[in-house]
C-alpha cells in the first residue's frame, strides 16, 4: 500500500546518516563511558563529541548539556529539579494552558504537594501574551515554564520577551526565578539559541530530529542548580545518573549536527509544501477551521478542524488509505477527551474533536502531498455523509436557501 507519513510532530524516521553514525556504538564500540580502559574512553569521547554537537545546535556550552532519556525526562528534570531546589524561596509556578502532557503532569503533581500553579490562556491564536506573564509574576514565583513551540498547533511563543521580564525581576533581587522552555518541537522547525531566547533551562528530544526515540537533553545554564531526579553514579556531572545510552547519544549528536547544517533548507522546503497542502485543502474541502495562528507557527504543522466529523474517524479512514496523521496530542490520542490544546483556543467540542494535525517532515514530497489531497476530501465527504450533524446543517442550509430565495 502507498504510505504517506504526515505525523512528524509525533516522531520522525531516523536519518540514514544517523543510523550509520550510531551503528558502531552498538557493535565494536560498546564500552561504558564510566570505564577507565580503552573501551570506556572511546565511548566517553563519543559522548563528549555528541555533547558538543547538541550544544552547538542551541548555542550552548557543552557542559551546559545534560543528556536524558527524552523530552519528557528533560521536562521533569527542569521543572521538578528546579522546584525542589527552590522550594524554600517560593512555591509558585507560571505555565500555559497548552504545555505538553509532561509539563502539564508535573505541574499537577506540584499542586498536589501544595504548590500554586498559574496557567496562562492562549486566546484564539494559541499564543501566550507577555502582559499576562507580567501580571502573573509574584514575589514567590520561582519558575516560568512556557514551551517554545506547541506540539499540536505549532504556534511559537514569545519566550525571548518573557525572558526579559524574568531577567528584570531577577536583577531586582528575585534570584531564584528561572525560565524554562520546552523546545522539543521547536528545534525541528526554527533556529533555537539559548542566549537569544534568554532561558535558563531548555528541553530537547532527539526523536523529533530524525534520531531514535529514547534520548533527549536538558540545557542548564551555567550557574543554575537542579536537584537531580534520576539518582545514581557520577554521570552527567552528577546531574543525571545511569549508564549513558552511548549509541542514542551519538545518534542525537549527529542529528543535531545535520539539523544545524540543514535547518534553513529544510524549513524552506517544508513551508512551501505546507502551502501547497493548505491551498489544496481549502479548494477541495468546505467547512474547515485552522487551529492556531497561521503566521507564528512552525513550518511543518497544519492543524485543521473539519466540521461535522470526528478526528479519530477521519484519522482511521486516512490510515486505511495509508496516510498517517494525528488527532490531539500523540500522547493522549488513546483517551476520549478532546485535545486540551484545541480547547484552550476556545473551540467548541465539535471543532475540538474534529481537529487533525498534519505534520510534514524533511523528506515529505510533492507527490505525497498530492496523494493526500486526493484521498482526504473523499474521506471527509464520506464521513460527513454518515454524520447526523452534517445532515442537519445541510438541511438547514437548504432551508435557509429556500426561505431566502
Partner 1 sequence: MKVKLTFSTEALPTAIRLLPTILSVAYSDTFKEHLANPRNAGTLEGADAEVEQSNPVCGDRLRLALRVRGRRIEAARFLAYGCPPTLACGSALAWMLEGMTLDEAARLTRAEIAEAAGGLPPRKQHAAALAYETLQESLTLLRT
Ligand X SMILES: Cc1ncc(COP(=O)(O)O)c(C=O)c1O
> Among all residues, which ones are annotated catalytic?
331
What is the CB neighbour count within 10 angstroms for residue 338?
A: 22
Query: Which of 243, 335, 391, 398 is the binder for ligand X (CB under 6 A)?
Result: 243
Query: Which of 46, 51, 75, 390 is the binder for a second copy (CB under 8 A)?
Result: 75
Residue 182's binding partner, choosing from a second copy, ligand X, partner 1, none, with beta-carbon cut-off 5 to 8 A by kind? ligand X
Query: Which of 41, 63, 279, 283 is the binder for partner 1 (CB under 8 A)?
Result: 41
Query: Which 1-20 residues touch a second copy, going by CB under 8 A?
Result: 3, 5, 7, 10-14, 16, 19
Give the CA count within 13 Å in the CB-facing half-sphere of 73.
20
Q: How many residues make contact with partner 1 (CB under 8 A)?
A: 38
Distance CA 81, CA 174 (A): 18
Residue 185's binding partner, choosing from a second copy, partner 1, ligand X, none, with beta-carbon cut-off 5 to 8 A by kind? ligand X
Place of cell 517544508: 270
Contact 68, 240 (CB under 8 A): yes
Residue 281 C-alpha from the chain's centroid: 24
Instruction: Return the beta strands (E) in 268-369 as ranges.
Output: 288-290, 301-306, 323-324, 355-359
Alpha helices in 7-37 (DSSP H): 16-22
Q: Which residues of 301-335 are buried (b: 16+ CB within 10 A; e: fewer)?
A: bbbbbbbbbbbbbbbebbeebebbbbbbbbebeee
Question: Rule CB under 6 A: is residue 155 a binding residue for ligand X?
Answer: no
CB of 315 to partner 1, least distance (A): 9
Residue 212's binding partner, choosing from ligand X, partner 1, a second copy, none, with beta-carbon cut-off 5 to 8 A by kind? a second copy
Binding-site string for a second copy from residue 189 to residue 228, where x marks contact by CB under 8 A and - marks none = ----------------x-x----xxxx-------------
User: Nearest CA to 383 among 306, 320, 322, 326?
Assistant: 306
Question: Rule CB under 8 A: is residue 12 a binding residue for partner 1?
Answer: no
273 pairs with which residues across the strands?
A: none
Residue 279's binding partner, choosing from partner 1, a second copy, ligand X, none, with beta-carbon cut-off 5 to 8 A by kind? none
Contact 320, 1 (CB under 8 A): no
Question: Rule CB under 6 A: is residue 216 a binding residue for ligand X?
Answer: yes
CB of 264 to a second copy, least distance (A): 24
What is the CB neighbour count within 10 angstroms for residue 386?
A: 11
Contacts 24+ apart (CB under 8 A), 383-387: 383/309, 383/310, 383/313, 383/314, 383/317, 384/308, 384/309, 387/308, 387/309
CB of 386 to partner 1, least distance (A): 5
Only one of the segments 74-82, 231-239, 297-305, 384-392 lies at the binding site for partner 1 (rule: CB under 8 A); that segment is 384-392
Contact 209, 187 (CB under 8 A): yes
Query: Which of 9, 21, 31, 44 is the binder for partner 1 (CB under 8 A)?
Result: 44
CB of 120 to ligand X, least distance (A): 16
Contact 154, 297 (CB under 8 A): yes
Binding-site string for partner 1 from residue 275 to residue 314, where x marks contact by CB under 8 A and - marks none = ---------------------------------xxx-xx-
CB of 314 to partner 1, least distance (A): 10
Question: Rule CB under 8 A: is residue 45 a binding residue for a second copy?
Answer: no
Query: Which of 2, 17, 32, 395 is the binder for a second copy (CB under 8 A)?
Result: 32
CB of 43 to a second copy, least distance (A): 9
CB of 331 to ligand X, least distance (A): 6
Query: Which of 195, 232, 337, 391 is the binder for a second copy (CB under 8 A)?
Result: 232
Question: Rule CB under 6 A: is residue 100 a binding residue for ligand X?
Answer: yes
DSSP string, 142-159: EEEE--SB-TTT-BBP-H
What is the CB neighbour count within 10 angstroms for residue 127?
A: 22
Q: Enter the C-alpha cell of residue 171.
A: 536583577
Distance CA 141, CA 124 (A): 27
Interface contacts to ligand X, rule CB under 6 A: 70-72, 75, 100, 102, 147, 151, 182, 184-185, 205, 207, 216, 242-243, 331
Interface contacts to partner 1, rule CB under 8 A: 1, 36, 38, 41, 44-45, 308-310, 312-313, 316-317, 319-322, 334, 336, 349-350, 353, 378-379, 382-383, 385-389, 391-392, 394-396, 398-399
Amino acid at each position: 500500500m502507498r504510505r504517506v507519513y504526515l505525523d512528524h510532530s509525533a516522531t520522525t524516521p531516523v536519518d540514514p546518516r544517523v543510523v550509520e553514525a550510531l551503528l558502531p556504538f552498538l557493535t565494536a564500540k560498546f564500552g561504558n563511558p564510566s570505564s577507565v580502559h580503552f573501551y570506556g574512553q572511546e565511548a566517553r569521547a563519543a559522548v563528549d563529541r555528541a555533547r558538543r554537537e547538541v550544544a552547538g545546535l542551541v548555542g550552548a556550552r557543552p557542559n551546559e548539556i545534560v543528556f536524558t532519556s527524552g523530552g519528557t525526562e528533560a521536562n521533569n528534570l527542569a521543572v521538578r529539579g528546579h522546584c525542589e531546589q527552590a522550594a524554600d524561596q517560593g512555591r509558585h509556578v507560571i505555565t500555559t494552558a497548552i504545555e505538553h502532557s509532561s509539563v502539564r503532569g508535573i505541574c499537577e503533581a506540584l499542586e498536589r504537594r501544595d504548590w500554586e500553579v498559574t496557567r496562562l490562556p492562549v486566546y484564539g491564536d494559541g499564543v501566550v501574551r507577555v502582559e499576562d506573564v507580567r501580571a502573573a509574576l509574584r514575589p514567590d514565583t520561582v519558575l516560568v515554564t512556557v514551551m517554545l513551540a506547541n506540539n499540536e498547533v505549532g504556534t511559537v511563543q514569545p519566550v525571548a520577551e518573557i525572558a526579559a521580564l524574568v531577567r528584570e525581576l531577577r536583577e531586582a533581587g528575585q534570584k531564584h526565578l528561572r525560565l524554562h522552555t520546552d523546545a522539543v518541537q521547536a528545534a525541528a522547525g526554527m533556529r533555537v539559541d539559548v542566549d537569544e531566547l534568554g532561558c535558563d533551562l531548555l528541553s530537547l528530544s532527539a526523536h523529533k530530529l530524525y534520531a531514535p526515540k529514547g534520548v533527549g537533553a536538558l540545557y542548564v545554564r551555567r550557574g543554575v542548580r537542579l536537584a537531580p531526579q534520576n539518582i545514581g553514579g557520577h554521570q552527567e556531572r552528577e546531574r543525571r545518573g545511569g549508564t549513558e545510552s552511548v549509541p542514542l547519544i551519538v545518534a542525537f549528536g549527529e542529528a543535531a549536527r545535520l539539523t544545524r547544517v540543514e535547518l534553513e533548507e529544510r524549513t524552506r522546503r517544508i513551508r512551501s509544501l505546507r502551502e501547497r497542502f493548505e491551498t489544496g485543502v481549502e479548494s477541495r474541502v468546505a467547512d474547515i477551521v485552522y487551529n492556531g495562528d497561521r503566521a507564528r507557527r512552525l513550518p511543518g504543522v497544519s492543524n485543521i478542524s473539519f466540521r461535522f466529523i470526528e478526528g479519530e474517524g477521519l484519522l482511521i479512514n486516512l490510515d486505511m488509505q495509508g496516510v498517517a496523521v494525528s488527532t490531539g496530542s500523540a500522547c493522549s490520542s488513546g483517551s476520549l477527551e478532546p485535545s486540551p490544546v484545541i480547547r484552550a483556543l476556545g473551540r467548541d467540542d465539535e471543532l475540538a474533536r474534529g481537529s487533525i494535525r498534519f505534520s510534514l517532515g524533511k523528506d515529505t514530497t510533492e507527490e505525497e502531498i498530492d496523494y493526500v489531497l486526493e484521498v482526504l476530501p473523499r474521506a471527509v465527504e464520506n464521513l460527513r455523509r454518515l454524520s447526523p450533524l452534517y445532515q442537519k446543517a445541510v438541511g438547514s442550509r437548504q432551508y435557509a436557501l429556500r426561505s431566502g430565495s
